[in-house]
Amino acid sequence: MTVSVLTASILLLHLLGIFAAMHAVMHTRTPQGAIGWALGLLLLPYVTLLPYLYLGSIRFRGYLTRHQARLPSSSQANVDENASAAGCARFAAVSALQGRPFRGRHRLRLLIDGEAAFDAMLAAMAAAEHCLLVQFFIFHDDNLGRRVQQLLLQRAAAGVRVCVLFDGVGSHDLPGHYVDTLRAGGVAIHPFATRRWRNRFQLNFRNHRKIVVVDGACAFVGGLNVGDEYLGLKPPLAPWRDTQLELRGPVVTDLQQLFAEDWQWITGAPPPLLPSPPCDGDADALIVASGPADAQETCSLFFTAAINAARERVWLSTPYFVPDHAVLAALRLAVLRGVDVRVLIPARPDHRTVFLATTLHAHHALRAGIRMFRYQPGFLHQKALLIDNDSAAIGSMNLDSRSFRLNFEVNALVVDRAFAGEVATMLTADFSRARAIDEREYLDAPYLRRVAMHVARLFDPLL
């Protein structure tokens, strides 16, 4: 009897593996991924079925329907009447991809590292009078996390409508009492997750965005989360190198709408939204949002289009350098055009597998003429892109498959010579604290470490 039950169980698992393999062949984005999943599901279903349940889906289906129904038409103008058509025209494809135009008259502030960024964000949040929208991938219950918690409670007690989103997986160690305290104090707070039972436990489809909007007038985007490590207080990754951007102007409305899309998916109701007041700045800006609900791979296409627009320089700062074929081809073509292409990556790992894959990709990039650098003082978490002398982007997008295809991300693309000059000055200082990588880094590595790099690269679609 026991043998019969065991046999039936094995046959059932193999049958489920066949159906899952058919699903993988039909729906996995790349041939390599389809082959890998299909072989594993057919040959070892008792090992691969559970991982496929958590990692195999590539689309956020329910969100997809809502998201595409609300997208504006891509036939809209690429530039509004207040923006500089000449400066923004190079990025017309990005604007069309977003279905929204570049907007003009922004005032911006570049916030370098955690102390400056959180001083600015907490001061703006403390001044909120009507509405406060806060979204981070990670909240920690540490000193910074409790400072943010107390500020949110104070604003809620003052009658401000406070809405908070955090990612359920990114904030997996956030204790329940942290959230309960906020709710008891009048703060509306929710984890970002899906509503369907299977995807509730998805490791993919994480909301990696960092957005703060104060009274519809001031907004922040960038790479920082809420935790002491982002202030550089946790060795061995300290000091922590990161960048945030403060925006005032019409794109604050776009960031509110982006937050509202996520909020309505979770709660079923819109958050409070306020009109953005007029601004007298000079910068043109476009909010670039991406995620698994997009019909196309928006994040990868954004980097590809931006790099292809460069004629003088492409300077990139990213903690994870796992480019797909399109982005790597764009970087190679930029080198062939005579563009100064530099990529800044960390010297210290926070995720070993990604670090190993990054090291191998850096070696291949060097062979294509791309200049690679490792930032020395601490961990580099900054996501910054500089194009020529007039354009720059700051946000949450990494150069890896998670940002390209699996995470919800947001960047602010700015066309303005003064702002690009600030970013150039910042990155020049970063490169001065970096070590240029040469081929010896890979060639002199022990053989088993090089094998580990190539094994890590096999997991590129999941990194």
Active-site residue set:
208, 210, 215, 381, 383, 388
Q: How far apart are CA 108 and CA 110, in angstroms?
A: 7
Terminal Cα distance for the chain, rounded: 44
* Pair of tokens at residue 359: 């090291």
Q: How far apart are CA 408 and CA 396, in angstroms?
A: 9
Helix axes 352-367, 447-457, angle to 10 degrees: 100
**Is residue 276 within 8 Å of residue 252, measured between CB atoms?**
yes
Q: Of 104, 95, 458, which Cα lies nearest the Cα of 298?
A: 95
Q: Of 58, 94, 28, which Cα lies nearest the Cα of 293?
A: 58
How many degrees, rounded to 5, is the angle at CA 401 between CA 212 and CA 73? 60
Lookup result for tokens 């389809």: 34
Q: Which residues contact 222 (CB under 8 A, 6 or more apart)?
A: 111, 117, 210, 242, 243, 244, 245, 383, 394, 395, 396
Q: Which amino acid type is present at position 151? A: L
